[in-house]
Amino acid sequence: MIDLSTHYLGLKLKNPLVPSASPLSKKLDDAKRLEDAGASALVMYSLFEEALRSEEAMLDRFLLDQSIGHAESAGFMPTPQDYRSSLDHYLEQIHALKSSLEIPVIASLNGVSLSGWVELGAELQQAGADALELNVYYVAGNIEQTGDEVEQRYLDLLKVLRTKVSLPIVMKLAPQFSSLPNFVLKLEEAGAQGVALFNRFFQPDINLEDLSIIDQLKLSNSSDSLLVMRWLAILHGRTRLTLAATGGVHTTDDALKMLLAGADVVHMASALLQHGSSRLTEILKGIEAWLEAREYESVSQLKGSLSQQHQKDPSVFARESYIRVLDSFSPPGGVWR
Ligand SMILES: Cc1cc2nc3c(=O)[nH]c(=O)nc-3n(C[C@H](O)[C@H](O)[C@H](O)COP(=O)(O)O)c2cc1C
């Protein structure tokens, strides 16, 4: 019997497959289906501070209208006690997931203000989440802001949260940092327990018909996993933080590569949304069969065995491989002579 267990954020998980933040944690039935399919933990969809603040502002306006006697709003007459904000819904969902699932539930937070991150983080801890993932979706588009300042935002947030939240914290990072390994080291010093590589930044497109900007959500594919795989391979063994691979895992091969590179857990969203929970079971069985065929005894034996530290030629993950790849490329035959 192969030992598929892994350690992530101080939690012992029965296997490395974890559905990442997505709408699949919004319904108990879906979450239960994922657990039954073999998921070893569940990351919830994010709670967004901005959404909460705009609800609060609307409610304040509404109550003010009532008190000054606007007939239209007074007609609805909801009382503040009846009102349930997205925070209330989120906390209730943590309770519900915790009581119907056996696997750990990781809450996900996307804050804006420092006080918001801290207050909401404390609420999610209080509600019983097993860990907290910080979805810092920050597009560093301010020309005045230096790279150091961008990093400092993450670090300040983590340090302040640490004063109020004792749960394991995982930072979901953007792929664009000048020196990712050094930044990961700083996150470790600031009190994180893990990093999730990488947050998927949805890219706006241009509509050439009416020249408008299109907001769009495109699901990933397997080729997206290679960016993650390289950075896992570079980080494995160089940080004490646990590593989650998030992005482009659609098949058993994708998942195995992430583990070989050094992931402690492999997150999945797009593949589950596209193919259902059975895709998780297939990948789990596939990992087991692959390990068995090669006489591995456990996932731990596999983890990081092809990371940069274990390469005879560590340059395969670095610049030299770029030069080799360019030199060895030849265009498709018959197109260019
Ligand atoms: C429909 C959808 C909703 C998502 N919602 C969230 C979210 O609420 N919070 C978050 O941190 N990531 C969210 N993500 C990002 C995923 O958790 C994941 O990091 C990303 O999609 C890359 O993984 P994948 O290639 O397996 O899809 C969402 C992704 C999708 C496709």
Q: Report CA-CA distances (Å) from 125 to 45, 94, 117, 166, 250.
A: 15, 10, 12, 8, 31
Q: Where are the beta strands (DSSP E) in the chain?
A: 6-8, 11-13, 17-19, 42-48, 105-110, 131-135, 169-173, 194-197, 205-207, 212-214, 242-246, 265-268
Mutating to test ligand 1, I would choose from 108, 200, 251 the residue with most ligand atoms within 8 A of its C-beta, which is: 200
Residue 77 has pLDDT above 60, yes or no: no
Nearest Cα neighbor of 44 from 209, 218, 170 is 170
Average pLDDT, integer, range 5-20: 97
Supply the pLDDT for residue 295: 96
Q: Whose CA is nearest to atom 5 of ligand 1?
A: 22
Tell me the range of 30-44, 69-83, 152-166, 208-222 where mean pLDDT is highest. 30-44
Ligand 1 binding pocket includes 247 (Cβ within 6 Å): yes
pLDDT confidence tier of residue 103, bands split at 50, 70 and 90: very high
Q: Whose CA is nearest to atom 30 of ligand 1?
A: 22
More confident residue, 56 or 72: 56
Supply the pLDDT for residue 51: 77
Ligand 1 binding pocket includes 108 (Cβ within 6 Å): yes
Ligand 1 binding pocket includes 19 (Cβ within 6 Å): no
Structure confidence by residue, pLDDT tens digits, 257-296? 999 999 999 999 999 999 999 999 999 999 999 999 999 9
More confident residue, 265 or 72: 265
pLDDT confidence tier of residue 82, bands split at 50, 70 and 90: low
Asked whether the beta carbons of 262 and 304 are under 8 A apart, the reply is: yes
Residue 47, φ and ψ in degrees, nearest 5: -90, 125
Residue 105 has pLDDT above 60, yes or no: yes
Residue 68 has pLDDT above 80, yes or no: no
Ligand 1 binding pocket includes 219 (Cβ within 6 Å): yes
Ligand 1 binding pocket includes 22 (Cβ within 6 Å): yes
Q: Which atom of ligand 1 is nearest to the CA of 21?
A: 17
pLDDT confidence tier of residue 238, bands split at 50, 70 and 90: very high
The neighbour count for residue 334, using CB atoms within 10 Å, is 6
Cα gap 307→262, rounded to integer Å: 6
The neighbour count for residue 104, using CB atoms within 10 Å, is 21
- Distance from Cα 199 to the centre of ligand 1, integer Å: 8
- Distance from Cα 324 to the centre of ligand 1, integer Å: 34
DSSP string covering 257-284: HHHHHT-SEEEESHHHHHH-THHHHHHH
Ligand 1 binding pocket includes 172 (Cβ within 6 Å): yes
Asked whether the beta carbons of 132 and 46 are under 8 A apart, the reply is: no
pTM for this predicted structure: 0.91
The neighbour count for residue 78, using CB atoms within 10 Å, is 12
Supply the pLDDT for residue 64: 62
Supply the pLDDT for residue 21: 97
Average pLDDT, integer, range 190-208: 93
The neighbour count for residue 140, using CB atoms within 10 Å, is 15
Tell me the range of 53-62, 267-276, 325-334 where mean pLDDT is highest. 267-276
Cα four-point dihedral sign 105, 251, 273, 33: negative
pLDDT confidence tier of residue 86, bands split at 50, 70 and 90: confident
User: Would you report the helix, strand and coil content of the chain in percent, each value rounded to 5?
Assistant: 50, 15, 35
Residue 329 has pLDDT above 90, yes or no: no
| β pairing state of 11-13 and 6-8 | antiparallel
Supply the pLDDT for residue 78: 53
Supply the pLDDT for residue 307: 94
Mutating to test ligand 1, I would choose from 18, 22, 274 the residue with most ligand atoms within 8 A of its C-beta, which is: 22
Ligand 1 binding pocket includes 25 (Cβ within 6 Å): no
Ligand 1 binding pocket includes 111 (Cβ within 6 Å): no
Residue 65 has pLDDT above 80, yes or no: no
Ligand 1 binding pocket includes 262 (Cβ within 6 Å): no
Give the burial class of 110: count Cβ atoms within 10 A of its Cβ; 0-12 exposed, 13-18 middle, 19 or more buried: buried
Average pLDDT, integer, range 241-256: 98
Supply the pLDDT for residue 47: 94
Supply the pLDDT for residue 57: 65
Nearest Cα neighbor of 92 from 38, 26, 48, 30 is 26
Residue 74 has pLDDT above 60, yes or no: no
pLDDT confidence tier of residue 83, bands split at 50, 70 and 90: low
Q: Whose CA is nearest to atom 16 of ligand 1?
A: 21
Supply the pLDDT for residue 72: 53
Structure confidence by residue, pLDDT tens digits, 135-175? 988 888 899 999 999 999 999 999 999 999 999 999 999 99
Ligand 1 binding pocket includes 2 (Cβ within 6 Å): no
- Distance from Cα 315 to the centre of ligand 1, integer Å: 31
Ligand 1 binding pocket includes 10 (Cβ within 6 Å): no
Q: Which atom of ligand 1 is nearest to the CA of 172?
A: 11
What contacts 186, CB < 8 A, 6 or more positions away? Answer: 151, 155
Q: Which atom of ligand 1 is nearest to the CA of 248?
A: 25
